[in-house]
Every structure is written in structure tokens, then in C-alpha cells.
Structure 1
Amino acid sequence: MNQQEKTKNNNVKLKPHSKKIIISFQLGNLVWFMINQGFRMRVLGYYQEVLGLTPLLFTIAFGIFTVYNMFNDPIIGHFSDRSSRFVKRWGKRFPFIMMGAIPLSIMPFFIFTNPFIGSQLLIFVWMVIFMLLFDTFFSLMDVNRWALFPKKFVKDDERKLAGFIEAILDTIGIALGFLIPMIILDPDIGFGDTLVGYSLQGFVLSLISFILVILMIPGVKEPKEVRERQIQLDRFEYSNIIEDLKFASKNKNFLGYLILFVCYSITMGGIMGLMAWFADDVIGWTGIMGEAAFLGYLIFVPITAPIWYKVSNKIGVRKVMLIGAAFLAVSGIPLLFAPAGLGGFILTFIVASLAGMVDGAIESMNLPVFSSIVDKTALDNKKREEGLYRGVVVFFQRTSYFIWVFLLFIVQLITGYEHGTTDPLGILGLKIYMSVFPLIIMSIGTIAFWKLYTISQEELEQNIIDLEKIDL
């Protein structure tokens, strides 16, 4: 179909969306952040300490998980972009979102209810199988939900509002994924680090996730005008996945965004995954009291998100993202000098609070920046392939799991650090992991984004107008 025909067939006008619909859509983020937080923060303790899986097998499991992602995420994104089977009745993305979201919601229970006790091999196999299922269902939901976003919410003000709501719901998700396991696994008021405790916290996370997935349905449904518009878009010829990946690899704006968010995922994954051990071994406070040192992060992300939302309207999404990334890079340095006891608790709480303030900028600008990239790409390439781009992002973000686990393995190998140690060298290794590594990794991401992502606020807004003119 040539450009004139596409314009001629543009009879479909998208309606503005209510805040309720935007909130419902963004519940998908809440589900993911809650499940992911519970997974990242507790999977290490459950498999290494409770089940006794060796650090080497644990690292290999995440290596397999990463290799699987090399094929899973981009392929799901590519074939979701090409699929038109359900468009007329259900929409292009909605069926895939629900195919992933419902089984994803029950994954925490199975991951933390490993029935094989005493067998390293069977524990390892169960862990790998359910991590791969976990990733597959997440990819189905996430790739298609993100691909739907720039098509359903086309106005810049809607996208910024969605980004603001995302930052708040992300934080609520992190809080639930942080607090629910912390309370259930607390040795004084809960079940402690036991098989029953881990299974119960997995069940509670799964139950809440399932309820939220049901509430997400109105937001991710594709209304009639979106389905009709998609039918027109599906008439275009799609290229093969190799050509698409080559095109993506040459997209400087996309590469800048990709590098930043891989670095961000490594940083936050490592910090969130080791919070409990930092509280135990550096601060010296176990259970709820020690882990409460990180609550400042959860408090200040939703408080500052509205501020960043307003700032973005004045200086643009690019500058807000750069400010957040640069300050997050340096925010953890004081943890290198954290003492034990009350002083360490106060210092950690302050650092976590500062990190929350600047992370609100990154969280709230994530969707607007991604949408600006797929908009510009659609103009350059004359087709929309949000699913493929999100699939590539998810793949590289998933490598962050392996990278932070591998970095921990290196720290353990060099310094001899183990959870519960009092050895000064081991404690120093943990402090370096929580402070110096984030500085280096986030600095790389920030510089890459600054150099490669060059879409100005004016260009972003003009691209939206141009896409409407050519019905993309």
C-alpha cells in the first residue's frame, strides 16, 4: 500500500483515555515490579541457604536463563508484531497480554515451592524450568503491553501522565514485593527462613498478582477504533527478523536507551537482591528492623514522581532522564563507608531516600522515552514494530540478572564473602558491590544515553503529529 492510499484510508480517530483506563493499563507494571522484587530479593536466599544449592549451580542456572532470552524475547516481539489472527475480534496485543499475565501471576508460588530437597540436580532442574516459564509468560505480557502503549496512548500529555502513574505503581509494586516476604520470613513475627515461609510468601504474591491482572483487563483491552486502525496497519508487508534486528542495531536513539536501561537493571537488580544481606552483615540488624533501612527509597519515589512529571513539561523527557541517571550513579557511594549499628542504619536510610528521589525521574520517563523512539523509528522505517524493540530491550534487561549474579560470584570468589560472615575483607566486598559497582555501571549507561539519544522535546512532539498524518 502506498503512502497516498494509507492516508486515504485514515478514517479512524483515537479517543482520549480516562485516568482510570491509564491506571488500569499500568497495573501491569505493578504486577511485574512486585513479582520481580520478590524474586530478586529472595531467590538467592531460598536456593542457596534454604535448599543448599551451590553458588556455581546457581550461577549456571542464571546463565541458562540468559541464553534462553537470546531467542525468547526478540522472537516473541517479532512474531507478535506479525500476528493478525485475533485483531478484528480481540485486538493485536490483548490476547497475548492475557496469555502471559495470567500464568505469570502464579509463578512466584512455584519458584518458591521447590519439592526437591536434598538433591542438587533436581533442585537445579526445577529452578531452571520455572525460571524459563516465568520469563516466557512475562515476555508475552510485557512485550505486547509495551507495544500497545504508543498505539493506544498517542498524545504526549497522556504518555507523560502514564509515566507519572507508572512511577507510583512501580514503587507500590516494589513495596509489596519487599514488605510481604520481609514480614512472612521475619524470624520473630513470621515463619523465618523456612520452606513453609518461602512457599507462603510465594502464594501471597501470586494471589495478589492474579487479582491485579483481572483489574488490568480494562486498561489493556483494545477498543474498536484501535482495532480498526490496526487492521489498516497490518496490510503492510513485514520484513524478516534478521533485517529488523539489523535496523534496530543501527538506531542510535534506541541504543542509547537500551544501554542505559540495561545498566539501570544491573544496578537496581544487584542492590535489591542484596539488601537483606547488607542489612544483616553490614548494619548488623536482622529481619524487619535491618531491611527497613531501605524503606526511604519506597517513600520518596512516589513523592518525587509528580515533581519530575511537572519538570518534564518544562525541560523535556531527555533532560529529566539524564538528571535522574546521573544522580543515581553517585547516590550509593556513601554505602562504601557504612558503619555497623544505628549509624549504618541512618546512613543507609538517607542513601536509599536520595536514590528514591532521583529514581522517580527514571521511572516516570521510561515509557515516554521508549514511545518517542518507536515513533521516530516508525517514521524512518514506515512501519510500527514496537514488539520487536521491546523484545530486544527485555532480552538485554534479562542479561542483567546473570550479570549481577556473576558479579556477586566474583566478589565471593575474591573476598570470600558469604552471608553471615564477620570477616572484614568479605564485608568490604559487599560494600563495594553495593556502592562502587553501581557508580561504574550507571555512569556507563548515563554517558551512552547522553551521547546517543538525541530526540528533543520539539522533535518528539512533531513526530507524533507526523505519524497521525500518515496513519502510523
Structure 2
Amino acid sequence: EINDTLEVPEIHHSKKIMISYSFGMVVTEFIGTVIIMVLFIYYETEIGLSSLLTGLGLAIFAIWDAFNDTIVGYISDRPYRFTKKWGRRFPWIIGAFIPMLICFLLIFNPPKVDPQENPWIIFMWLVITTCLFDTFESMAFMNFFSLFPDKFRSDSERLKVAGFGAYFGFFGILLGMLIPPMIIVFGRSETYFLMAILVVVICLVFWVISIPGVRDDKEVVECFLAKCEETESSSVFKDLSNVLKQKNLRTYMFVYFLFFVLMSTMGASFFYYVRYVLKADASLIVLIMGLYFLGVLVATPLWLIYVKKRRDKKQVMILGGVIMVITAILITFVPNFEFLLIIVFIHGMGLGGFSLMINPVFGDIIDESVIQTEKRREGLLGGLRFFVTNLARVVQALILAFVHELTGFKEGSDTQPASAIFGIQLHIGLIPAIFLLIGLLTFWKLYDITPNKLEQNKLKLKQLGF
């Protein structure tokens, strides 16, 4: 019999389980990076949909994603008949994965119609397939990320998993940036569908490997069900209102939103930059991204050593972010290709520090939220994080659409006027850098979970039975 004093037992996970879970990061980052980098340029330059309609379609997709994530997060936080047997997160993670991949393939196989005569057919295909894809993606990935703070509860395990996850996540991003240019040929839209097939196959392999790591711990599920019996149910709006009272959560979401504006805008810009500024084949992106992630790989273990010694996650996020801001600005005004490669390498080093801290800092914020609300709401909070991620995609789509419209970008053309080329240089560096700089200043000023406060929060969690 479970009583009011039931506490979650301290569960120690093997490295195999930690690594298995981290393999899921390959999939989430891989498929997300492909969407960010390829989708806008595919529909605008290969299919021939106008910049404004492409931007509008992707904005609708991102807005749907934002609200869908919050709702899915709230729904998945609740107990169901299958929860005791199959777990709290595992059924959602596994059940939504295959439908998500099918929808991903459909995105890159639009109807063969003239985009000038029938633009709304292409537009509706873009909106419907991306929204279907997102619905299943939210069910799978939002629960995957929500599992992290619930499964790995000690600071030492979270840092270990974050270390593994950083490498696997960066590998996923690397695949997302390298696979498309290895397959895609500018001017041949069918190569994008071949790319999508290869992405699906790779995702299936890594997802199977991640299955042992994404299973819920039975003891944690039992404690969750016991707490649900003790706690009155509430509406999604009431829960949102309660969690948004947390200053550190609002601050984190703000800087995470602006970080993702930078990542998605720069990521989507590289194909434009190589095609129109460098006037090179897509394969050149392989070299650029290779150096980018070499910087990530070189710097990540150094950042990990630093944070274990100083125990100051906030400081690492800010330092990594400052490096990203400075190098992004330099990319806009880079004088030659050789200098670009150096800047990209250093930018990757900054990304290594910032990204390494994303999940551990979020875990600390969730712990603080549990103390304040006496409820575990990983799904809702994870959905909120996905919400701001997709709000960033709206901003990214609008940046590209309006910059291209204002600078005279010619859809479907192999050459661009000087004004359009300068616009590309702006949205690959200076514009996203300004966004992240605002986020870093806010995070530096308002975020206050210090190492000492973190230790106090751990003690309070134990006292509350969480």
C-alpha cells in the first residue's frame, strides 16, 4: 500500500542506459536540423512557391506546433490505463514515431503542379503535411525530453547524460547538415525526396538503439500514480498559469527562444549562402559543417571539465552564447572563404558550451517548479519549451520571407541581384546575433539558480517526497 510518505527511490542507471537514451538525441536533432535547413529553400527555390507564401506556410506550421506541443504536454502528463503497465512516457515515444516518419516523407513529395498557376495547392500541401508531421513529432519528442528530468534525478547523472547527449545531439545536427548536401543537387527537386528517404532509414536505426534508454523506471511510475491519486486534477490553463509564475522558467524560455532563432535562421541560411554568395555546389556545405562540428567536438569536453569544476551552469551558457554572438556577426562581414572556415570553427566551440547546459539547466528549473507547485509537470514544461522553439521557427520564417521580399530575391532563379545577396549575408549572421545577444543579457540579469541554491532545492525535493 502506498501512503503519503512514499518517496521516489534513488535509482542509479548504468552507462549503457544513459548512452541508449542519448541515441534518441541523434534522431531529434537530425530530423529537426533537416527541416530547419532544407524546408524553406526547397519550397521557395526548387518548387517555386513565392517567398511570402513559403514563409506564411512555415509560420502556420510553427504556430500549430507551438500550441500543439503545449496541449500534448498537458495530455501526456495525465495517467492512463496503460501507464502502470507500459509507463508514463514510453508509449507516446514509441507509438508516434512511425507515423511521424511517414509524414516527413510526404512533406518532400508535393503534387506535381505549376506553382505559378496553382500556388494554393502547393501551399496547402506544405501546411497540412507539416502540421501532421508535427503532431506526431510532438508526441514522440516532447515525451522523450520530458523523460530526462524524471528518469535522471541526481545532478551527477544529469551532467553525465548531458555530456553523452551533447555528443550524440551534435552528431545528429552534423548528420542533418551533411546528409542533405551530399544528396541534393541544386535544380533537381527529386533529389530532396531521395534525401528524405535516407533520413528516415537512419532515424529508424538510431531510434531502435534508444528503446532501452527511453523506458520509464517502474518505481518512478508507481510514485507518479500515487501522487496523482493524492492530487486534484486541474486545467491546462491553471497549470500554465502556475508554472509561468516561476521567474527562472520565464527567463530560460526567453533565452532558449532567442537561441533557437539564431540556430534556425543561420541553419536555413547556409544553403542560400553557398548557392548564391559563394556560388558553389551544395557539397561545399559538407566542408563548412565539418569544421563547424569539429569545433563543437573539440570544445565540449573542455566545457564539461570546466562546469564540473566550477558547478556554474549559468556561466557556461553565457560564455558559450557570447562566442556564438561575436562569430555570427563576423560571418556577415567575412572577407574570404578561408576566414569563414575559421569563424565557423570558433562558432562551433561556443555552441558546444551553450548546448551542453540546455538540458541540465532545464532539469534544475523543473526541480524548482516541483518545489513551488508540488506537482511534476515535465510534459507541460517540455511542451512549453517546444512552444518557444516553434515560435522561433515563426520568427525564422518571417526573417527569411521579409528579407527576401525587401531585397528583391528571385524565386527559382540561379542568380540573384546584389541587394538579395546582401540580404542573405544579413540573415546568416548579424540579424540572428542580435536576437541571441538580447537573450543572453536577460539571462545574465534575471536567472538566479546558483550552485548553493541548487543544493537547497535538492534537499527540499527529498523532503517533499519527489
* Match of residue 77 from structure 2: 81
Task: Quote the offset at 1:6 in angstroms.
Answer: 2.6
Whether the 8 Å CA contact 2:248–2:447 is kept in 1: the answer is yes
* Match of residue 369 from structure 2: 377
Matched, 1:278 2:270: no
Q: What is the alpha-carbon distance in structure 1 between the residues aligned to residue 245 and residue 323 of structure 2?
A: 28
* Match of residue 255 from structure 1: 250
Can you list the C-alpha shifts for 1:307-335, whole angstroms capped at 9, x where unaligned?
11111112221111111112211211222
Q: What is the alpha-carbon distance in structure 2 between the residues aligned to residue 446 and residue 14 of structure 1?
A: 35
Using the size of structure 1 for normalisation, the TM-score is 0.92
Identity rate, percent: 32
* Match of residue 112 from structure 1: 108
Q: How many residues align?
A: 458
Matched, 1:243 2:235: no
Name the aligned partner's letter for residue 468 of structure 1: K
* Match of residue 308 from structure 1: 303
Whether the 8 Å CA contact 1:50–1:194 is kept in 2: the answer is yes
Q: What is the alpha-carbon distance in structure 1 between the residues aligned to residue 79 and residue 222 of structure 2?
A: 15
User: After the TM superposition, which residues 104-253 of structure 1 pair with which residues of structure 2 at under 5 Å, given as runs?
Assistant: 104-118=100-114, 119-186=118-185, 192-235=186-229, 236-253=231-248
* Alignment CA distance shift 1:336-1:67 (3 Å): closer
Matched, 1:268 2:267: no
Task: Quote the offset at 1:420 in angstroms.
Answer: 4.1
Q: What is the alpha-carbon distance in structure 1 between the residues aligned to residue 289 and residue 178 of structure 2?
A: 11
* Alignment CA distance shift 1:122-1:417 (3 Å): closer
* Match of residue 18 from structure 1: 14
Q: What is the alpha-carbon distance in structure 2 between the residues aligned to residue 31 and residue 430 of structure 1?
A: 29
* Alignment CA distance shift 1:422-1:53 (3 Å): closer
Task: Quote the offset at 1:461 in angstroms.
Answer: 2.9
Name the aligned partner's letter for residue 201 of structure 1: M
Whether the 8 Å CA contact 1:30–1:173 is kept in 2: the answer is yes
Q: What is the alpha-carbon distance in structure 2 between the residues aligned to residue 202 and residue 370 of structure 1?
A: 31
Whether the 8 Å CA contact 2:145–2:382 is kept in 1: the answer is yes
Q: What is the alpha-carbon distance in structure 2 between the residues aligned to residue 211 and residue 137 of structure 1?
A: 18
Task: Quote the offset at 1:70 in angstroms.
Answer: 4.4
Greater mean alpha carbon deviation, residues 41-50 or residues 373-382:
41-50
Q: What is the alpha-carbon distance in structure 1 between the residues aligned to residue 195 and residue 385 of structure 2?
A: 29
Matched, 1:67 2:66: no
Whether the 8 Å CA contact 2:177–2:289 is kept in 1: the answer is no
Local SS of the residue matching 2:84: coil
Q: What is the alpha-carbon distance in structure 1 between the residues aligned to residue 16 and residue 272 of structure 2?
A: 39
Whether the 8 Å CA contact 1:84–1:234 is kept in 2: the answer is no
Greater RCO, 1 or 2 (C-alpha within 8 Å, sep 6+): 2
Greater mean alpha carbon deviation, residues 385-394 or residues 301-310:
301-310
Local SS of the residue matching 1:88: helix
User: After the TM superposition, which residues 261-410 of structure 1 pair with which residues of structure 2 at under 5 Å, given as runs?
Assistant: 261-289=256-284, 292-315=287-310, 316-339=312-335, 344-410=336-402
Q: What is the alpha-carbon distance in structure 1 between the residues aligned to residue 39 and residue 225 of structure 2?
A: 43
Local SS of the residue matching 1:59: helix
Name the aligned partner's letter for residue 254 of structure 1: L
Whether the 8 Å CA contact 1:271–1:434 is kept in 2: the answer is yes
Task: Quote the offset at 1:73 in angstroms.
Answer: 1.2
* Match of residue 6 from structure 1: 4
Name the aligned partner's letter for residue 239 of structure 1: S
Q: What is the alpha-carbon distance in structure 2 between the residues aligned to residue 168 and residue 247 of structure 1?
A: 34
Runs of 5+ unmatched residues, structure 1: 187-191
